[in-house]
Amino acid sequence: MNFDFTTEQEILRKTVRQFVDDEIMPHIAKWDAAGSFDTSIWSRLAELGLMGVCVPEKYGGSGMDYNALAIVCEELERGDTAFRTAVSVHIGLNSMTLMQWGTEAQKQQYLVPQAKGVRIGAFGLTEPGAGSDVAAMTTTAIRDGDCYVLNGQKTWISLCDIADHFIVFAYTDKAKKHHGISAFIVERSMVGFTSKAIKGKYGIRAGNTGELFFEDLRIPVENRLGEEGEGFKIAMSALDNGRFTVAAGAVGLIQACLEASVKYCHERETFGKPIGEHQLVGQMIAKMEAGYQMSRLLVYRVGELKNKGIRNTRETSLAKWQACDFANKAADDALQIHGAYGYSDDYPVARYLRNSKAPVIYEGTREIHTIMQADYVLGRRNDKPLAKMLPKWPFDE
């Protein structure tokens, strides 16, 4: 067991941190208020090789290991959750799903350009009537010659107006329930596709989230990902990767809460001393630190399992659940430490608190992860290796 980062990973951390300090921090309050961020950030992320960080070099990526992705997510969310969410869907939910399930032709057509940052990928699973209960979806893809005809709607989809293509899930055979769901690569340019952003979000305001509509949209058969009926399995394996990035990002959010709170603890005085010297304030800082350290251990353990090609659904669920809960609590305490000033735009902690809530909801709510963990421990759930696993690291180039 080795808890040290490699030299390459340390350089990556410093690079992303510098990028966040220089190019995100100075603008984020403005972007959060405006409800969008400067899209030139995408090309800067691509220049730094961050759009394909754990994608093999032969597919246009940087070829770094899965923990490198965790480092990127941690550092980006220290800046703002919107950027980590973008990387979560582009890499965690889309690129890694193509790495795991895509044909060689699909990898060449979609994975290569998105690892280089030339195209952006996203992920459409949730519907107005189907969130935690995925099988309640009503979107259908009916085979017609060498196409499928897609009809339906998705909602709460990150990068809905920005992504060039989406991995979308639909019933090809409703009677088979979970086994009747299939996955497809749907391009924005396909006739019958429209999207619409959701306005007035509680948090992650700089990020783009919204609805996708499919009306008699014809998808070529070669855009089906995996076999007919494998969609549910593909969606769940995609979440194993997406949740890993969400958990890593939560570690970065706790770090941001700690930085802001420690600074304020030294600056603000009450009853003749800095507030950090009051035991009850110190207790909040100590709990943040504990959450930070515990979450990091859980996250990087998952990265190691991925590097070794070992199925990690259980460990990923635990890391995601705990890290997001810790981050939500850390953000609440960070605002508390700032008193009334925290309740304003003068400090970043109100944004941290708003941003910390969605990760407790998306990619499996707190309650769904609690149920999963109880099921594992009580013997009601037991995972077998999937037919197709992510490639082990180092990648066989």
Ligand X SMILES: Cc1cc2nc3c(=O)[nH]c(=O)nc-3n(C[C@H](O)[C@H](O)[C@H](O)COP(=O)(O)OP(=O)(O)OC[C@H]3O[C@@H](n4cnc5c(N)ncnc54)[C@H](O)[C@@H]3O)c2cc1C
How many other CB atoms are found less than 10 A from the CB of residue 312?
A: 25
Determine if residue 228 is left, alpha or beta; phi over 0 gives left, psi from -120 to 50 gives alpha, anything else beta: beta
Closer CB to ligand X, 17 or 354, in the complex:
354
Task: Report if residue 132 touches ligand X, rule: CB under 6 A.
Answer: yes
Residue 363 falls in the annotated catalytic set: yes
Contact 232, 178 (CB under 8 A): yes
Task: Report if residue 253 touches ligand X, rule: CB under 6 A.
Answer: no
- Catalytic-role residue among 75, 77, 315, 363: 363
- 3-state class (DSSP) for residue 280: helix
Task: Report if residue 123 touches ligand X, rule: CB under 6 A.
Answer: yes
Closer CB to ligand X, 169 or 264, in the complex:
169
Residues near 157 by beta carbon (within 8 Å), at least 6 away in sequence: 122, 123, 124, 126, 166, 195, 209, 210, 211, 212
Applying CB under 6 A, which part among 70-78, 108-116, 120-128, 347-355 lies near ligand X?
Answer: 120-128
Contact 61, 55 (CB under 8 A): yes
Applying CB under 6 A, which part among 48-56, 125-133, 211-219, 300-308 lies near ligand X?
Answer: 125-133
Closer CB to ligand X, 71 or 239, in the complex:
239
User: Shortest gap between Cβ of 233 and ligand X (angstroms)?
Assistant: 16
In the complex, residue closest to ligand X by CB: 131
Q: Which of 67, 95, 114, 158 touches ligand X (CB under 6 A)?
A: 158
* Burial of 365 per CB tally in 10 Å (0-12, 13-18, 19+): middle
Closer CB to ligand X, 63 or 207, in the complex:
207
Structure tokens at 218: 């014809």
Could you say which residues in the range 323-342 bind ligand X, by CB under 6 A?
none
Closer CB to ligand X, 234 or 337, in the complex:
234
203-230 burial: b if 16+ Cβ within 10 Å, else e: bbbbbbbbbbebeebebeeebbbbebbb
- 3-state class (DSSP) for residue 129: coil
Q: Which of 55, 89, 298, 299 touches ligand X (CB under 6 A)?
A: 89
Contact 363, 239 (CB under 8 A): yes
CA-derived radius of gyration, the chain? 21
Applying CB under 6 A, which part among 104-112, 298-306, 364-372, 387-395 lies near ligand X?
Answer: 364-372
Task: Report if residue 126 touches ligand X, rule: CB under 6 A.
Answer: yes
User: Shortest gap between Cβ of 222 and ligand X (angstroms)?
Assistant: 23
Applying CB under 6 A, which part among 13-21, 54-62, 67-75, 361-369 lies near ligand X?
Answer: 361-369
Torsion of CA 335, 341, 344, 349, to 10 degrees: -30
Name the strand (E) or helix (H) holding 184: strand 181-187
Site for ligand X (CB under 6 A): how many residues? Answer: 21
Task: Report if residue 98 touches ligand X, rule: CB under 6 A.
Answer: no
- 3-state class (DSSP) for residue 220: strand
User: Shortest gap between Cβ of 364 and ligand X (angstroms)?
Assistant: 7
Task: Report if residue 95 touches ligand X, rule: CB under 6 A.
Answer: no
Contact 174, 140 (CB under 8 A): yes
Distance CA 137, CA 147 (A): 21
SS3 content of the chain, % helix, strand, coil (to 5): 55, 15, 30
The residue whose two tokens read 């090809």 is 172
User: Shortest gap between Cβ of 397 and ligand X (angstroms)?
Assistant: 31
Q: Which of 367, 380, 383, 394 touches ligand X (CB under 6 A)?
A: 367
Amino acid identity, residue 280? L
Dmax over CA atoms of the chain, in Å, equals 79
Task: Report if residue 231 touches ligand X, rule: CB under 6 A.
Answer: no
Site string for ligand X, 46-75 (x = CB under 6 A): ------------------------------
Site string for ligand X, 184-223 (x = CB under 6 A): --------------------x----x--------------
User: Shortest gap between Cβ of 97 and ligand X (angstroms)?
Assistant: 12
Task: Point out which residues bind ligand X (CB under 6 A).
Answer: 89, 122-126, 131-132, 156-158, 204, 209, 358, 361-363, 365, 367-368, 371
Give the active site residues: 363
